[in-house]
């Protein structure tokens, strides 16, 4: 197999693009894809400070790597979820990454902010902690960005993540979730920062290849609570579809952005208030994070 660009020995075949690359040309392809996504979807400008939410996994560290290499003003944000060894190891990966590159890393502890770490959410709600964990992550990313003056938060969500989330929303026809699924969520309130996903056009396999070729040391293990999660099943189904029909995953998600999503957008805006407790944005009187904090406190 030959590199499409230089004719040298290829290390990676991209069937959905009907192409193959050697290592240097693949890294250049990846970098350009990220750069082009940021530009085309007007995610942020070169001089704008951007907060990159890093989990210690391959996607978010690959994103931070590309942004730093390209000269973006990218600061990392690690949320310590307090999930036993998984959190200890992922935090160490983020700290080592930042240390080796002289990059700034902010660390926020869920336990300090919520009154209990993610395992305490599980105890308090008597359910898998993933949805409480997800809402805490979104809340704390926004709060950290506001506290430190960042207009935008970037996450490492890739095409597999986005396609699986979309698949799940459609399987259950959660139509209220569909307009929110976008590579760019603009700020619709002074206390809500823009959220962007610069890797949404790249697959998990492609970000893994970038991380490997760049020798980025990342945590390979999944969160222990993710075992058996339906999102993994959806990813598996979409991968089987992709194997049989290269490009299917991309068409599924892009078709949604171009033709599906506009049909579900609401014309009337959702009214946003400031939480009476913490001042962050909510649709009710008290935000979901403050309610969860109460629940965790009561169960202690
Ligand atoms: P996940 O929801 O675990 O699939 O992660 C999706 C994205 O959310 C990652 O690529 C990161 O950008 C961000 N993220 C997940 N976990 C954390 C964390 N503990 N700290 C900071 N960002 C995170
Ligand atoms: Fe949040 Fe697993 S429960 S990362
Ligand atoms: Zn609140």
Q: How confident is the model over 17-49, as pLDDT tens digits?
A: 999 999 999 999 999 999 999 999 999 999 999
Structure confidence by residue, pLDDT tens digits, 199-248: 999 999 999 999 999 999 999 999 999 876 788 999 999 999 999 999 99
Retrieve residue 54's tokens. Answer: 């890093």
State in Å: Cα 10 to ligand 2 middle. 36
pLDDT of residue 268: 65
Segments in the chain forming alpha helices (H): 23-40, 58-69, 84-101, 110-114, 118-125, 130-147, 159-171, 204-213, 230-244, 248-255, 261-264, 288-299
pLDDT at 229: 78
Give the ligand whose atoms come closest to the C-alpha of residue 228. Answer: 2
Tell me which residues of the chain have a pLDDT lower than 70. Answer: 228, 267-268
Q: What is the pTM of this model?
A: 0.96
Residue 246: φ, ψ to 5°: -55, 135
Give residue 265's pLDDT.
85
CA distances from 216 to 25, 62, 149, 276 (A): 18, 7, 28, 43
Q: Separation of 55 CA from ligand 1 center, angstroms? A: 5
In the prediction, which pLDDT does 32 show? 97
Q: Which residue has the tokens 């569909």?
A: 178
What is the distance between the alpha carbons of residues 165 and 52, in angstroms, rounded to a whole number? 21
Query: Mapping DSSP to helix (H, G, I), strand (E, B) and coil, where does residue 237 land?
Result: helix
Q: Is 226 in the pocket of ligand 2 (CB under 6 A)?
A: yes
Extents of the domains making up the chain: 23-273
CA distance 47 to 49: 6
Q: What percent of the chain has pLDDT over 90?
A: 92
Share of the chain above pLDDT 70, in %: 99
CATH class of 23-273: alpha beta
Tell me whether strands 194-196 and 152-154 are parallel, antiparallel or unpaired.
parallel
């Amino acid at each position: 197999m030959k590199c499409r660009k230089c004719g040298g020995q290829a290390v990676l075949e991209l069937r959905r693009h009907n192409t193959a690359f050697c290592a240097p040309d693949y890294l250049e392809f990846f970098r350009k894809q990220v750069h082009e996504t940021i530009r085309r979807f007007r995610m942020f400008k070169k001089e704008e400070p951007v907060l990159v939410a890093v989990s210690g996994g391959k996607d978010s560290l690959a994103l931070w790597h590309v942004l730093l290499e390209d000269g973006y003003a990218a600061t990392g944000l690690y949320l310590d979820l307090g999930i036993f060894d998984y959190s200890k190891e992922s935090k160490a990966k983020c700290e080592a990454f930042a240390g080796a590159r002289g990059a700034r890393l902010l660390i926020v502890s869920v336990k300090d902010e919520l009154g209990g770490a993610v395992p305490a959410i599980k105890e308090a709600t008597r359910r898998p902690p993933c949805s409480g964990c997800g809402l805490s992550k979104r809340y704390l990313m926004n709060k950290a960005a506001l506290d430190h003056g960042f207009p935008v938060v970037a996450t490492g969500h890739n095409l597999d993540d986005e396609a699986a989330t979309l698949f799940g929303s459609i399987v259950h026809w959660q139509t209220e979730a569909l307009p929110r699924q976008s590579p760019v969520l603009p700020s619709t309130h002074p206390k809500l920062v823009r959220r962007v996903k610069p890797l949404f056009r790249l697959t998990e396999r492609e970000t893994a290849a970038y991380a490997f070729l760049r020798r980025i040391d990342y945590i390979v293990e999944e969160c222990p609570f993710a075992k058996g999660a339906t999102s993994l099943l959806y990813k598996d189904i979409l991968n089987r579809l992709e194997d049989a029909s290269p490009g299917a995953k991309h068409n599924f998600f892009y078709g949604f952005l171009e033709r599906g999503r506009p049909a579900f957008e609401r014309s009337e805006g959702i009214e946003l208030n400031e939480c009476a407790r913490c001042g962050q944005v909510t649709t009710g009187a008290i935000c979901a994070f403050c309610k969860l904090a109460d629940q965790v406190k009561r169960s202690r």
